[in-house]
Each structure stands twice: as C-alpha cells, then as structure tokens.
Structure 1
Amino acid sequence: MRDKFKVWIKLLYRQRELQLFALIGVVLLLLFSYLPLFGIIIAFKDYRINMGLEGILTSEWVGLKYFKDFFGFYRFKEIFKNTVILSVLKLLFTFPAPILLALLLNELKSNKFRRVVQTVSYLPNFISWVLVFTIANAFLNADTGVLNHILLYLDLTEIPIPFLTSSDWFYSVATFLAVWKNSGYWAIIFLAAISGIDPQLYEAAEMDGAGRLARIWYITLPGIKSSIVTVLILSIGSLLGGGMGGSNFEQCYIFGNAINNSASEIIQTFAFKTGLAEGRFAYATAVDLVQSMLSISLILISNQVAKKVTGEGIF
C-alpha cells in the first residue's frame, strides 16, 4: 500500500504542470458551480437580503410557497409559453444550420476560400448581444433601418415594419439572429468530426459511382452521428436557456422592451427582474429552480430517447 502511494506521488510530481492546470479548473468549478448550490435552500425559506449569510440558515422555512406563487402568477402561462416557443424555434433552426454549414464547407475544393468562409461565419460568435442589437437596430429599425428603406423603396410594404418593437416579430428576429451568431462556431465541432472520417471511404464510394449527395448521406452523416447525437442531447438539456442558439436571457433582456414584452419576457428575465428590482431573492431562486429542474429532466429524457433510437448517448 505504501509503495503504491509512493508511485502515485511520483506520478503527480512528474505531471505537476498538468496537475496544476487541472487543480485550477477544479477550484473554479467548486467556487462558481458547486458552492453556490448551497444558496438554493432560500427557495424554500422566507429569506430577505438584509438577513445576510446567516439568514440562509436562520430564516423561516416556508416549503413550496414560492413555487405555488409562481405557478399561480397571472402571467405564468405567457412567460412559460415564451420560454418554450423561443427555445424550440432556436433548436429547430440552430441545430441543423451548423451541420449544413459544415457539410458545405467540407465540400469546398479551395482551402483558402474554405478558411475565409469559416472565419467569417464563426466571427459573429465572439460578438456580444449588445453589439448584435446595435447591428440589428441599424438594419431593422422602423425609422432608420436599412431593410425598411429597401422594402419601402421597392413598394413591398406601405409602412415601416417594427421588427424590433412588435411582439409579432420577436420570435422570428430572435431566431434569425441566433442562427447567424452561433452557426459558424458550432460548425467547427462537426467539421472536426468530419475530418476524422477515413478518406478512403470517399475514394471507394466515388469509384463505385456514388455522387456527392450519396457520399454525404451514406458516409459523412453516419460518420458524425455520435457528434450529432451528443450535441443534440446537450442542446435539449440547455433548451430552456437557449441551447445552441446562445443565451435566451441576454437576447430577451437586451431586445425586450415595453412594447414586445408579451413575447420577450421569459423565465430567466422574469427571475432576474424580480430578484434584483424587487429584492425578492427567495422567490426568484424558486423560479430559476423550476427551469433547472425542467432542464435536468430534458437531459435525462433526450438521452434515453437517443439511446433507443440511435444507440448513442452521453451516459
């Protein structure tokens, strides 16, 4: 036993640089992911911010009171509907988009052109939603937007279309911008999976007379099936938060306003406003916990369905 311990210590010392990097990651994970979980308890207590840290333990236990308050809130159905619809629309459009982009990039013969297209496509991922709103406002603003000027000039509309202020347009604009912003980044994952496919398979298929579409259908897609399933499960798990389409919270909070609030208010923005603006931290925690529990359920369900349908899963 002592000899095994000495061998283990020597191994750690030889790998001290790598172990140090791993230790930093573990510490950050504990500080910012696991330690805050202790605060979940206030969702079941009558906690006030002026109670401080001690109040987390000493405040009165109220059980499921805040959960009942949220489910009985007059806007609950509207907020829940917005969260689900926006998340589902993002999944339906942002999930296949990077796969199609990766397939198209893989078919390009010119490496230089491929690198240019790939760089241009994933650059939007590094742009904050604040800057995205600035860009969108320049194009979609009802008074000064470029798109409305073009539509009016071509007589395609008689009055400017309020893309950014109308609740009727919010889902469409949010989904389109999510696809534009995140497709290039996620395409990198699928391109990496495609690069791992044996090139001899393509050569053999081409010699047998298989066309480009046939090679994609029978070689490329089956070759990246495990990556597609893994990304799909993770996307479904984070569906209510935005999934592959990025943060629903940032997008709805920045693009939301008093006019389109009936479509832009989601669980995350409601919890944020309730917690900070009204100081109801216990109630806001309960609201966020509802979304977290739904997300965990979606991960478990999607993983089981994927295992049964494709034989692939993440656990």
Structure 2
Amino acid sequence: MKATGQPNKFVSFRLRENMQLYLIMLPVLLHIFIFSYIPLYGIVIAFQDYYPGKPFLSFHESVHWVGFKHFIEFFNGPYFGRLMRNTFMLSLYFFAFGFWVPILFALLLNELKSGLFKKYVQTASYLPHFISNVVVAGMVLSFINTDGIFNAVVKLFGGTPIPLNAEPAYFPAIYTITSIWKSFGWSSILYLSSMSSIDPHLYEAAKMDGANRFKQMLHITLPSIRPTIFILLIFAIGNLLSANSEFILLIYNPALFETADVIGTYLYRDGLLGGNFSSGTAIGLFISLINFTLLYIANALSRKYSDYALW
C-alpha cells in the first residue's frame, strides 16, 4: 500500500506546488479547447453536400454523404494548379527572404551599446505589427498606383509610370516586401529574449582571447540562439501553404489573379461568398493535412540532425 501511495502523494504535491502556473495556463487552454477543438466536428461537412440548417452528425436521409467528391472536384478543377503554385510560391518567397531578417536584425540590435537608441529602434520595429491589414493594404495601394509615391519617384528620374496594381509580375515582390516589413520587428522578440539569457562571462572570456565583436557574435551569440532558430524554422516550414490571405484579399484584383490568387482567397470567393461550405471545408482540410505533414517531416529531420525538435 505504501508503494502505491507514493506516486499519488507526489502528483498531489506537484499540483499544489504548480497551482499558480496551471491557473495562468487555464484561460489559454480554455480558449484553445473552445475555439480550436470543439469546432473540429464540423470537418464532417467536407464529406457531405451540406446546406445551412441541415444537421452535421446524423445518418438521417436529410444528410447527404458524398465521400471524397469535393476533394476530387478540387483536384480536377481548372484552378487547382494555379492556386497551389501561387500559395506555395508566395509562402516560399516570404520564407526564403523573410526568415533570416529577424535574426539579422536581432543580432545587429544586440550589438548596440546606446540603451536609449536601442529601445527606440526596437519599439519602432514593433509598430508595423500592430497596424491592421486594412490600413497596411490602403498604404500599399496608395503607394503603388500610377499617382503614388513609387511612380512619383520614377517620373522624377525621367521614367515611365508603372501600374503596379495591374501587373501580375510585380505582385510577389509587393507581397513579400510588405509582409517582411510588417513582421520582422515582432518576430525578432524571441531572438532578443534568447540573447538576453546568454552569460556575459562568455563575452568577457572571448575578449580576453582576442575575439572582436563579429567573432563574438559568430561563436557565442549565434550558437546560443540556435535552438530558437530551429524551432521557428520548423514552424515556418509547417506554414508553407498558409499565405496571408486576408492581406492578399485587400490588395489584389482580378487583373492579378495569375500570381495573387491563393487557396485562402479562393476559399473566400467560392466557399463563403459562393455558399459552397462543403467544398471550402474539404479544401481547408486538405491544406491542413499538407501543413501538418510538412511540420512533422521538418520536426523529424531537425530532431535527427540537430537534436532540436518540438517533440
């Protein structure tokens, strides 16, 4: 009896000891459970011909089960290739050009010695994150139209104005640059917090060995934030098919569909505006499965080759 009672006493002790931490976590866990797990039962409409007002989980004749019909229609549809290509390419551009910008910014900011100037730069870099997509989209559209700032500079140097909001070839660059500008400061917070935990004695020892500031950054700072880099890299790979659809919806138009129409914008037009809820759910489920697969593969490779992983 004593042997079986010991684990229970240990668990009870740990619960009492960490009760405050569990209470802090409770609102977040409730939010995740209510808004992320409870709605999962709605996935079943991906396998039905669903109309608003019909029951979800029922084998009554009013529920028309169609199996993988909506998945097959999407795969064989005329827009499948374009949607997959645009979604992947826009996400890949942001990943390739945007992932390293917060790291570089954090490294440079960490080297600043002036505390006041450092705080000013850090605060200024955070501000775009708090600007709504609607405002940012309005700014971008005003900058790139034929009478905007960009074309004003072009005309100043004798060039011909370019209708950037009607040229599909320029949209990936506009989307990538804007997304990086809006997110790099906020994304650097995790790297800066990791740098703040580095033991200062390591830098002092490196100085005594003759290492300059660049070598200190290369051999002390970067290795110290490597776990954070790998974890965020895993998350980034897991979101390769998750372009910022909300922002794209605000700045694109039919003339840009060739390079701007992504899965999220198609879901909005066909699933929400078109009332095809079953088709939209099927497409969303398909993309979620791909993202999870990419996340799982990235985590497995990271665990195998770097010893850093989510699980």
| TM-score, normalised relative to structure 1 | 0.90
When structure 1 is superposed on structure 2, of 132-141 and 64-73 the one drifting more is 132-141
Alignment correspondent of 2:154:
151
For 1:102-113, list aligned pairs within 5 A: 102-113=106-117
SS in 2 for 1:117: helix
* CA–CA distance in structure 1, aligned partners of residues 97 and 219 of structure 2: 23
Contact 1:12–1:19 under 8 Å retained in 2: no
- How far did residue 138 of structure 1 move? 2.8
1:27 to 21, 26, 30: 30
**C-alpha contact 1:90 1:178 (8 A) present in aligned 2:** yes
Deviation of 1:123 after TM superposition, in Å, equals: 0.6
Q: Following TM superposition, by how much is the alpha carbon of 1:23 offset from its aligned partner in structure 2, in angstroms? A: 3.0
The residue identity in structure 1 corresponding to 2:155 is L
- 192-201 or 54-63: which moved more? 54-63
CA 219–11 in structure 1, closer or farther in 2 if over 3 Å, else same: closer
Q: Please state if 1:260 is matched with 2:263.
A: no
> SS of the residue aligned with 1:47?
coil
Instruction: Please tell me the residue identity of whatever aligns with 2:156.
Output: Y
Q: Is the 8 A contact 1:42 1:56 kept in 2?
A: no
Distance 2:75 2:110 in 1: 48
Structure 1 residues 253 and 40 mapped into 2: Cα distance closer, same or farther (>3 Å)?
Answer: same
Percent identity at matched positions? Answer: 37
Report what 2:195 is aligned to.
194
Alignment-derived partner of residue 217 in structure 2: 216
The alpha-carbon distance between structure 1 residues 277 and 220, as it changes in their structure 2 partners (threshold 3 A), is same
User: TM-score when scaled to structure 2?
Assistant: 0.91
Who is 1:314 aligned against? 310
Contact 2:48 2:65 in 1 (8 A): yes
- Contact in 2 for aligned 1:39/1:56 (Cα 8 Å): no
Alpha-carbon separation, structure 1, partners of 2:295 and 2:239: 8
Structure 2 counterpart of 1:281 = 277
Give a deviation string over 1:187-225, Cα, whole Å, max 9, x none: 111001111111111111122111222111111111100
Taking the aligned partners of 1:21 and 1:205, their CA distance within structure 2 comes to 40
* Structure 2 CA distance for partners of 1:279 and 1:209, relative to 1, 3 Å: same
Q: CA RMSD in A?
A: 2.3
User: Within 1, Cα distance between the matches of 2:220 and 2:29?
Assistant: 39
SS class of match (1:241): coil
Please say if 1:47 is aligned against 2:43: no
Q: State the match for 1:231 in structure 2.
A: 232
> 1:14, 1:93 → 2: CA distance?
42
Given the alignment of the two structures, is residue 99 of structure 1 paired with residue 99 of structure 2, yes or no? no
State the partner residue of 2:265: 269
Q: CA shift at 1:255, angstroms?
A: 1.2
1:222 and 1:281, CA in 2 relative to 1: closer, same or farther beyond 3 A? same
Partner of 1:117: 121
- Distance in 2, matches of 1:48 and 1:131, equals 35
Is the contact made by 1:271 and 1:284 (CA closer than 8 Å) also made in structure 2?
yes
Inter-partner Cα distance in structure 2 for 1:70 and 1:292: 15
Distance 1:140 1:56, change over 3 A: farther
Shift of the alpha carbon at 1:256? 1.4
Q: 1:24 to 1:9 in 2, by over 3 A?
A: farther
**1:88 corresponds to 2:89:** no
Residues 131 and 48 of structure 1: CA distance in aligned 2, closer, same or farther (over 3 Å): same
Distance 1:307 1:2 in 2: 37
Residues in 2 aligned to 1:229 and 1:172: alpha-carbon distance in whole angstroms:
26
CA pair 71-53 structure 1, distance change in 2 beyond 3 A: closer
Q: Secondary structure at the match of 2:166?
A: coil
What SS does the corresponding residue of 1:46 show, helix, strand or coil?
coil
Match of 1:245 in 2: none
Provide the C-alpha distance between the structure 1 equivalents of 2:100 and 2:17, rounded to a whole number of angstroms.
Answer: 46
CA separation in 1, counterparts of 2:295 and 2:17?
Answer: 38
Aligned residue type for 1:204: A
Contact 2:145/2:151 (<8 A) preserved: yes
Partner of 1:72: 76
Conserved 8 A contact 2:45-2:56: no
Check the 8 A contact 1:121/1:183 in 2, yes or no.
yes
8 Å CA contact 1:42, 1:282 repeated in 2: yes
Task: Kindly state the Cα deviation for residue 229 of structure 1 after the two structures are TM-superposed.
Answer: 0.2
How many pairs were matched up? 306
Does the 8 A contact of 1:47 with 1:56 survive in 2? no
